[in-house]
Amino acid sequence: EAYAAYNQFPLVIENPSRRDALVDEIYRRTGVETTTLYPDPLHRIYDLGYPAEDDPFPDATYVSRRLLLIPTHPLMKQKTLVRVADIIRSPGK
């Protein structure tokens, strides 16, 4: 019998500033380290020859600025995940 190993749950937070604030708030209140992966999409991190003034991949740019990954690996306790979810659901400041 096999089981899937889910180690992160991706969320897209509409407001990039709220996403950044959540990273800090979740860590401060729970000790859980979330991640945003890349500060920019890959086509902006490496020089792949795309003109700087154009954005040939606007969806990648959109997601890279809003992605928040919540750890969900087997060592995460259900109680902690509930606290993290409550923080995310709470209104932003």
CATH number where 67 lies: 3.90.1150.10
Most confident segment among 14-23, 40-49, 84-93: 14-23
Residue 3 lies in a domain: no
Domain tally, the chain? 1
On the 0-12 / 13-18 / 19+ scale of CB atoms within 10 A, 22 is buried
Domain range for 56 is 8-89
Residue 51 lies in a domain: yes
Which pLDDT tens digit goes with each residue over 28-44? 999 999 999 887 888 88
**1-5, 18-22, 59-63: least confident range:** 1-5
